Structure 1
Amino acid sequence: MDDDTDFTLPHTRTRRLPRPHSGGGPQHLLITLLGDYWFARDELLPSAALVDLLAEFGANENASRQAMRRLTQRGLLAQGKQGRATYYGIPGDIVANQRLRLARAVTFGADFSDWDGHWTLVSFSIPEAERDVRRLLRNGLKNMAFGDLQDGVWISPHDRRADAVALLDELGVAAGHVMHATWGMREGDREAVADAFELDGLAGEYRAFLDEYAPRRKWAEGDVDPREALLLRTKLTNDWLAFRLSDPELPAELLPQDWPRPAARALFLELYDRLGPKAAAHVRHLIARYDASLSRIVTHHAVPTVDARMSEEMARMLQEGGGAASP
């Protein structure tokens, strides 16, 4: 997962310009863990318990406490005191964002089968003297999962006209145009689409995901150590959602017949669900060191059939695109 990813609606991307990451790993990890095991809770958790939780992933105490302070400054954690101890939790006003992140995590990768045949097309001409602007524009379009069809022409099967126009305006690109068009496909054009979106490389990444995690199916059916379940489930989720940055989510009719994403998605959902109880048990164990009553309300998400049983509220939020962008 990435801090520049927008999880509000299926097939949407942010238009934010690329920016360097600045060591936000523990921050992102903590928000991810709280969203998975402390979902929509008003209670605050002891900071020492959260330090122990992050330590399971290799974060030292100083980095963990600094992450908590920074998240609090950003309004993404609530802070309280009980005696001399500091407690943290999820502010009520970002619970909607938690729901959207969860929904996006488990719906990502579903087939895009309702395509209307239209493309968003961005064309531009930028002189060599402004190559930095050209680089920023290309990176911005790539972040929105446009494909590089040919020099100065980028395409997306999703309606991203507003974001593309905003990006051109933001960068001051005068000789840039955004169109919504159909494509009279000729022989070889499907291969051009595959090249524009680098589908061969993406397919390889999905197959590597399958190669790494498929052997875990048998292991997950056994008596899994709770700590190992937590570590693997968190890595699994992050690895799966990393595809959100590289997969353009093309319409099903434009994908190769042996496209490996459906198998990868099924594997993710199976392992995520199967490992949930043991992973939550380890989080419960860590919190119980400091507060047994709080440990008893740790939960986890079970999502292999989430598309069928997604709550009415979450479905409405996904349709409306409500909530803040993910941290």
Structure 2
Amino acid sequence: MAEDISIPTRTLILGCVRRDGYLDAAELYGVAEACGMTEMQVRLCLRRLVSEGALEQVGGRGRRAAFVARGDSASQILPELEYVHFAYRQDAGLEPWDGRWRLVGFSVSEDRRAARDEFRDHLLYFGAAPVHGGLYVSPHALGEVFVTEAERLGIVETLAMMESDRLSLGGVTDPRELAGILWPLASVARGYEDFLGRLERRLGRANVDVEGSGPDAVAGDVFATTLEFARAIEPDPLLPPELLPERWSGVRARRRLADARGMLAGLGLGDRFPTLFDWLAAIDGGSVDGGAAVTAGASGRRG
């Protein structure tokens, strides 16, 4: 059984949809059981997804049923793939930092508090860090993204933006030191380290499970591990390597996830990868178009 992680039934079902949109009920129930879910639990959620139009049943009944995904249902559970692509590109040295800091300032009156709070959340969501009240900083060229959001909220007239190749906070000017002050990197690193520890334990028993408990047990572990990776990367501001500590755990986590995919494929499980895992572990920064802009990579976070 997948250890110590709560997986929503809806997330598991949509995460087991294959890349071509096909969902095999027999495989789904096997993974669900490995994750500690009951057949009734899965069956009721399948009915809800069909009634909502996210899935369409195209054959069979019960465990012999087949479904196809409709619309963009997978986007409900996948972390923003453009964001993950950008992470892998940074790991591969394909998105070097230009050494410039981008500052975003705004001042919105109390009677427009909802717009102010939403814009602040938008800045944080894209990895900008608060410097002082109403002033945020990012190493990424996200000006267009922020202006577009400010226009949508009707507060663009309050926006002030500037770039500088030097930033000083309390007398600190070293870029790596500044990053450690501005972003909660220690907390992000702990999330990645926890993910890596769980991944190693699961990989260590994968061979045993394939021979003993069967591929469903491994598939359940794979799904849980991938969900943990999605949770680990979510708070990561994806700072340029020039601002990160040596042997950054985020780089190691992404590299190990890709390695795990190759190992599990070697055990004959390649056709059993849940979509969530197949998408994330197969991403290779070098395979992304070389002209991808930072704004394109980051804008995917919004989904």
Question: Normalised by the size of structure 2, how large is the TM-score?
Answer: 0.69
Match of 1:79 among 57, 62, 77: 57
| CA drift at 1:246 | 0.7
> Which residues of 2 match residues 33-44 of structure 1 at below 5 A?
33-34=16-17, 38-40=18-20
Match of 1:307 among 284, 292, 296: 284
Secondary structure, aligned partner of 2:35: coil
Cross-structure match for 2:197: 211
> C-alpha distance in 2, partners of 1:81/1:95?
20
Secondary structure, aligned partner of 1:79: strand
Instruction: Map Cα deviations across residues 33-74 of structure 1 (whole Å, 9 max, x no partner).
Output: 22xxx3326x6645x664554343344445434543454466
Does residue 139 of structure 1 match 2:121? yes
| CA drift at 1:253 | 0.9
Give the direction of change, closer, same or farther, for the CA distance of 1:215–1:143 in structure 2 (3 Å limit).
same
Give the direction of change, closer, same or farther, for the CA distance of 1:164–1:60 in structure 2 (3 Å limit).
farther
Cross-structure match for 1:124: 106
Q: Which amino acid aligns with 1:269?
A: A
Cross-structure match for 1:159: 141
Cross-structure match for 1:239: 228
Instruction: Map Cα deviations across residues 168-195 of structure 1 (whole Å, 9 max, x no partner).
Output: 2333336631525233244513333322
Instruction: Map Cα deviations across residues 108-153 of structure 1 (whole Å, 9 max, x no partner).
Output: 4542642233444321123455544433332222112211122211
Cross-structure match for 1:194: 180
> C-alpha distance in 1, partners of 2:56/2:234?
29
Q: Which amino acid aligns with 2:58?
A: G
> C-alpha distance in 2, partners of 1:82/1:258?
50
Percent of residue pairs bearing the same amino acid type:
23
> Which residues of 2 match residues 269-284 of structure 1 at below 5 A?
269-276=258-265, 280=269
| Contact 1:157-1:250 within 8 A present in 2 as well | yes
| CA drift at 1:202 | 1.4
Report how many aligned residue pairs link the two structures: 280
Give the direction of change, closer, same or farther, for the CA distance of 1:116–1:106 in structure 2 (3 Å limit).
closer
Give the direction of change, closer, same or farther, for the CA distance of 1:318–1:63 in structure 2 (3 Å limit).
farther
| Contact 2:102-2:163 within 8 A present in 1 as well | yes
Give the direction of change, closer, same or farther, for the CA distance of 1:78–1:158 in structure 2 (3 Å limit).
farther
| Contact 2:57-2:67 within 8 A present in 1 as well | yes
| CA drift at 1:249 | 0.9
Match of 1:28 among 11, 27, 36: 11
Secondary structure, aligned partner of 1:214: helix
> C-alpha distance in 1, partners of 2:114/2:280?
44
Q: Which amino acid aligns with 1:122?
A: V
Give the direction of change, closer, same or farther, for the CA distance of 1:33–1:139 in structure 2 (3 Å limit).
same
Instruction: Map Cα deviations across residues 256-279 of structure 1 (whole Å, 9 max, x no partner).
Output: 224222222222222333234658
Give the direction of change, closer, same or farther, for the CA distance of 1:280–1:326 in structure 2 (3 Å limit).
farther
Cross-structure match for 1:227: 216
| Contact 1:72-1:79 within 8 A present in 2 as well | yes
Secondary structure, aligned partner of 2:284: helix
Does residue 252 of structure 1 match 2:241? yes
Match of 1:168 among 150, 155, 159: 150
Q: Which amino acid aligns with 1:205?
A: G
> C-alpha distance in 2, partners of 1:30/1:319?
32
| Contact 1:77-1:88 within 8 A present in 2 as well | yes
Give the direction of change, closer, same or farther, for the CA distance of 1:33–1:96 in structure 2 (3 Å limit).
closer
Q: Which amino acid aligns with 1:39?
A: R
Q: Which amino acid aligns with 2:20?
A: A
> C-alpha distance in 2, partners of 1:169/1:307?
34
Secondary structure, aligned partner of 2:105: strand
User: Any stretches of 5+ residues in structure 1 without a counterpart?
Assistant: 1-23, 285-297
| Contact 1:100-1:318 within 8 A present in 2 as well | no
> C-alpha distance in 1, partners of 2:117/2:283?
39
- RMSD between superposed Cα atoms in Å: 4.5
Does residue 89 of structure 1 match 2:75? no
| CA drift at 1:236 | 1.4
